Amino acid sequence: MLHYKDPAVASKFTNYGFGIEKESLRVLGDGTFAHTPHPFPADKFIVRDFCENQLEINTGVSESEEAAIEELESHERRVRETLHNLPEKEYVWNFSNPPYIRDEADIPVATFTGPLYDKTIYRDYLAKMYGKYKMTFSGIHVNFSLGEELIEADYKASGSVLSLRDYKDSIYLDLATNLVNDGWILNVLLSASPVLDGSFLEQGVKGKTDFLGMASVRCSELGYWNLFVPVLDYHSTKAYADSIRKYINEGLITSQTELYYPVRIKPKGVNSLEKLEEDGISHIELRNVDINPYAYGGLDIRDLKFIRLLSLYEASKPAESLGEDRQIKSAINFKNAAHFDLDTNRIMLSDGRFITLREASLELLGNIEEFYKSLESHFTVAENKETANVIAYQRSKIDGSGKRYAERVLEEYGSDFLGNGLKTVKAAL
């Protein structure tokens, strides 16, 4: 855990990094999937995800939320302008749930050739294992890293006998452990996909909108999960890698990239278990962020700032116990937190209490608020005000003074997801 009470450590809480991955589908003016070739064949920032018509924006690493959002939106702008200028105009479907799907032919697996051909083989496997329809869910992955200056300051404050590299890994392992316990709150606060086009559930049905009681279908039990609940070992980087290898060796997954879990530990660069063990942990990937249709690039800067506040808070707590039983309950918590009703759906906290999502969310937000109040002397008046405003914004989503994105989407798109969604994406350039 971070030694946040040490002034030298607290003063480095502004030393961190963000990288953002945003998936989205290309659609035509009638709401059907586009079938043109990928419009950005040589762009390292705009690539293909599962299918040919699913884009993925990959930003670099930024040292502030402002810089991260600015880069995300600059790539989003390039995408929209390029699609707008195609012979037949296309649009970015800025929602996590797909629009009208005629049939599986609308979802062509991304085709790679030469040394990258294995990517196509892998996608063919995913299509057979999970179904093409599920692979059209799109979302945002936020990669958060602790700055080197912060790690080094904490290393000095700790007096640890570990090497700096091993100490850094231990901080990330503790952070991941605590996010597995508390990361469900991002589902409560950032879910924005409560409605589905009827064609997702009934092939060929057009013009129907379905609400299944979820705030985020992709993060719920109906969405992007493995066919088993992974139980991972967070005691060391090697133990973590070996616990994933166990599932690969058993044939439950083909590689670490198939681990569909909300929190992932990753190395810098190529994501492989060998590189993770060799180079150590570079960052934490949070995969349970829906596309926000009310933000230009799909991610509101206040939400990105909250992810940073949450992550630093969790990194400053003693690591929670994560035995098999707790990990199974945590996975259930993530799924339950993606349900729409905050007062009937509950989660099991690590202390054994079984309480509503609203109660649990307000309690955790209160704990985060108190934590940062204890650090006010280490920050400027403006920084403390920003922290208070970010937490107040999140609280407003669940205390009745505001609305969650999922509530707004249900109100505005619940009667006609496809039609009203098309009006929105056409108006946004």
Amino acid sitting at position 387: T
Q: What pLDDT does 366 receive?
A: 98
Q: Please give the full DSSP string across 352-412, using - where no structure is assigned.
A: S-EEEHHHHHHHHHHHHHHHHHTTGGGS-HHHHHHHHHHHHHHHHTTSSSS--HHHHHHHH
Residue 429: per-residue pLDDT: 76
Domain chopping of the chain, boundaries: 7-427
Place of tokens 């973590």: 240
Give the number of other Cβ atoms within 10 Å of residue 392's Cβ: 15
392 to 13, 306, 373, 385, 401: CA distances (angstroms)? 20, 10, 13, 10, 10
One digit per residue, the tens of pLDDT, for the chain of length 429 reads: 999 999 999 999 999 999 999 999 999 999 999 999 999 999 999 999 999 999 999 999 999 999 999 999 999 999 999 999 999 999 999 999 999 999 999 999 999 999 999 999 999 999 999 999 999 999 999 999 999 999 999 999 999 999 999 999 999 999 999 999 999 999 999 999 999 999 999 998 988 999 999 999 999 999 989 999 999 999 999 999 999 999 999 999 999 999 999 999 999 999 999 999 999 999 999 999 999 999 999 999 999 999 999 999 999 999 988 999 999 999 999 999 999 999 999 999 999 999 999 999 999 999 999 999 999 999 999 999 999 999 999 999 999 899 999 999 999 999 999 999 999 999 987
Q: Does domain 7-427 have CATH number 2.60.120.260?
A: no
Q: Quick one: CA torsion of 300, 357, 410, 32, rounded to 10 degrees?
A: 70
CB contact set of 37 (below 8 Å; sequence gap of 6+):
52
